[in-house]
């Protein structure tokens, strides 16, 4: 086995089952001794911050739901082994049922770079809000109230939100984590 040319492919999976697909794939690869053909299996994830019981917790969230990246050489049985894994729909390709299309290296580098960047800038938060934007309060005594951002304090990561309570407008000071953009 001299030089095996591996490329990055995108596997379409059932959304929410990406971790299971990765586990099954790694098990099958080691069981069938296909380690030479399948180098890496990746699920792009990002860190997301949430407030639970008044505490800020970071949680890993799948960056591309329903997709798993695999660096593999699709020779012989490898493609069929991957397609035969539970919760795998198939490969991403140019036409339905056609041959799997490998990703361009620029796409792979951008995606892997984005994932690395998301992992390294864990605590750094950019300002996700603008003045005049409608938001919904998701934590605290005014939970589920909607309002409009009047002022943003970047240093304290606080917002002043105008909320209508019982027909009267009230100005609330809330942290970034207590509100979410209203859709």
Instruction: Say if residues 145 and 170 touch (Cβ distance below 8 Å).
Output: no
Architecture of domain 7-120: 2-Layer Sandwich (3.30)
Domains of the chain, residue spans: 7-120, 134-181
Q: Tell me which residue of 31, 32, 33, 58 sits closest to 45, measured CA to CA.
A: 58
pLDDT tens for each residue of 9-67: 999 999 999 999 999 999 999 999 988 899 889 988 877 777 777 677 778 888 889 99
**How far, in Å, CA of 183 to CA of 177, rounded?**
17
Q: Tell the residue number behind the tokens 């750094």, with chain if given.
A: 124
pLDDT tens for each residue of 166-183: 889 999 999 888 888 887
CA distances from 33 to 38, 42, 81 (A): 10, 19, 12
Instruction: Say if residues 9 and 103 touch (Cβ distance below 8 Å).
Output: yes
Statement: residue 3 has pLDDT above 70: no
Q: What is the CATH number of domain 134-181?
A: 2.30.30.30
Statement: residue 135 has pLDDT above 60: yes
**How far, in Å, CA of 145 to CA of 148, rounded?**
10
Residue 1's pLDDT band (cuts 50, 70, 90): very low
pLDDT tens for each residue of 41-55: 998 887 777 777 767
Q: What is the pLDDT of residue 46?
A: 79
């Amino acid at each position: 086995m001299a030089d095996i040319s591996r490329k990055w492919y995108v596997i379409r999976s059932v959304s929410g089952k990406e971790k299971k697909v990765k586990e099954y794939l790694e098990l099958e690869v080691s069981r069938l001794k296909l380690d030479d053909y399948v180098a890496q299996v990746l699920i792009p994830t990002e860190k997301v911050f949430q407030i639970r019981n008044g505490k800020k917790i970071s949680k890993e969230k799948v960056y591309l739901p329903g997709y798993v990246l695999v660096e593999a050489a699709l020779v012989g049985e490898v493609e069929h082994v991957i397609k035969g894994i539970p919760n795998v729909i198939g490969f991403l390709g140019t036409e339905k049922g056609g041959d799997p299309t490998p990703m361009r290296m620029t796409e792979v580098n951008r995606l892997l770079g984005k994932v690395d960047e998301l992992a390294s800038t864990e605590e750094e938060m950019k300002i996700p809000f603008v003045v005049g934007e409608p938001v919904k309060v998701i934590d605290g005594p005014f939970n589920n109230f909607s309002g409009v951002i009047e002022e943003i304090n970047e240093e304290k990561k606080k917002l002043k939100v105008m909320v209508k309570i019982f027909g009267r407008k009230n100005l609330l000071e809330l942290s970034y984590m207590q509100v979410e953009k209203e859709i």
